[in-house]
Amino acid sequence: MQKLWATRIAGGAAGLANGLFGGGGGMVFLPILSRANFLSQRKLYATCVGVIFPVCLVSAAVYFFRGDLSLRTALPYLLGGLIGGFLGGKLYGKVSTKWLKWMFAAFLFYAGVKYLI
């Protein structure tokens, strides 16, 4: 029962971050999930994506119904995002987990610096 509540709190934290920042729930959920479960690194990342996808859909729906989502602005990015997501999923099994960790860390660092500037 204790583990069930911990997973619900972790999911709530990821959803809260995703809703507040318009994304980023995975950055909260990945370290929590890595400590809570005994998944391989590859299954860990895939599970994180599987959890964050519906969380993103819920956040997008809330933004849409509040009138804060600009579909005209978002749609041009959607096609590229779909293609990139497909290619990333295909390449995922071919990239070592060591490189995945470094690429993820580099991306977070770059995004954090760009956000602050």
One digit per residue, the tens of pLDDT, for the chain of length 117 reads 667 777 788 788 888 887 787 677 777 777 777 776 677 878 888 888 888 888 888 888 998 999 998 988 988 888 898 999 899 889 888 888 888 889 888 988 998 898 898
pLDDT tens for residues 47-67?
888 888 888 888 889 989 999
Quickly list DSSP for 31-95.
Answer: HHHHHHS---HHHHHHHHHHHHHHHHHHHHHHHHHHT---HHHHHHHHHHHHHHHHHHHHHHTTS
Tell me, yes or no, whether 82 and 26 share the same domain.
no
**Structural domains of the chain, count:** 2
Q: Determine the structural domain holding residue 95 and report its residue range.
A: 70-117
CA gap 99, 20 in Å, rounded: 29
Encoded tokens for 49? 């994506």
Tell me, yes or no, whether 84 and 44 share the same domain.
no
Tell me, yes or no, whether 64 and 74 share the same domain.
no
Tell me, yes or no, whether 61 and 75 share the same domain.
no
Residue with tokens 């990015």: 77
- Statement: the pTM of the whole predicted model exceeds 0.75: no
How many Cα atoms occupy the beta-carbon half-sphere of 76 within 13 Å?
2
Tell me, yes or no, whether 63 and 17 share the same domain.
yes
Hey, what amino acid is at 79? L
